[in-house]
Amino acid sequence: MIEPVRVAPRAAVALVTGASRGLGRTLAGFLAGQGYAIIATARGEADLSSVAREIQARGGTCEAIAGDVSDEAHRARLLEAARRLGGLHLLINNASDLGPTPLPSLSALPPDALRKVMEVNLVAPLSLLQETLPLLEASGGTVVNISSDAAVGGYPGWGAYGASKAALDLLSKTLAEELRGRRVAVVSVDPGDMRTKMHQDAYPGQDISDRPLPDVTLPFFAWLFAQDAMRATGRRFQAQSSVWEVAA
């Protein structure tokens, strides 16, 4: 009797942007440990390659594809990688542009700088969702858009970044309603203050060692990914809040 060939099921696939450092790197490693095949992207090729090596050394799967998420050709490469790995189950739009540093006031912000921040922080996440939507719909996938407390804070100097994240929050809520019938969930997450290069760039010369490292958010993300995604869709979460809940 010929034994049937048993084909191991493919792992769920997660695409993490801004994955070379900070929160993105932390989430890529965490998700790989949960069994996801990772597509990691960021502009820093050397740091991104080290992320892939770390994941692969632990027996995980990681394709590192360096580039700018605001570039259409680069996004096409990410989409092709997802197809090659068998689909897309989780999209984390984490890549962000802070804008000029030291942070200028909005009254002094060059229009071209605002356009660049919006392209990376708002237009690129929407474009990436649009381009990967057939794969997300096929898997009943989830989109996590990384927001910020600057979206609601009105902090001096943070106007461009905060405006882009406020718009991303509304985009997330709107998409959640539009895609509910297609079983694609969309949430936004404010990870809170963290000790990252971006945060240091915002405060050059200042000591930010009192901020926690990005892994402080992992209990929240472990909880979030264990929820029924369609019950969570449309929500804005705070990863360092003392209360996480999904409406009934």
Torsion of CA 244, 172, 156, 207, to 10 degrees: 50
Phi-psi region of 111 (alpha: psi -120 to 50; beta: other; left: phi over 0): alpha
35: Cβ contacts below 8 Å, ≥ 6 apart: 11, 12
Buried b (16+ CB within 10 A) or exposed e, 103-118: bbeeeebeeeebebbb
Tell me which of 36, 155, 161, 203 is the catalytic residue: 161
7: how many CB neighbours lie within 10 A of its CB? 6
167, 160 Cβ separation under 8 angstroms: no
51, 25 Cβ separation under 8 angstroms: yes
Q: Is 161 a catalytic residue?
A: yes
End-to-end CA distance of the chain: 52
Give φ, ψ of 64 to 5 degrees.
Answer: -100, 120
Residue 58 β-bridge partners:
none
191: Cβ contacts below 8 Å, ≥ 6 apart: 23, 146, 148, 214, 217, 239, 240
Sign of CA dihedral 129, 130, 132, 134: positive
The set of catalytic residues is 161
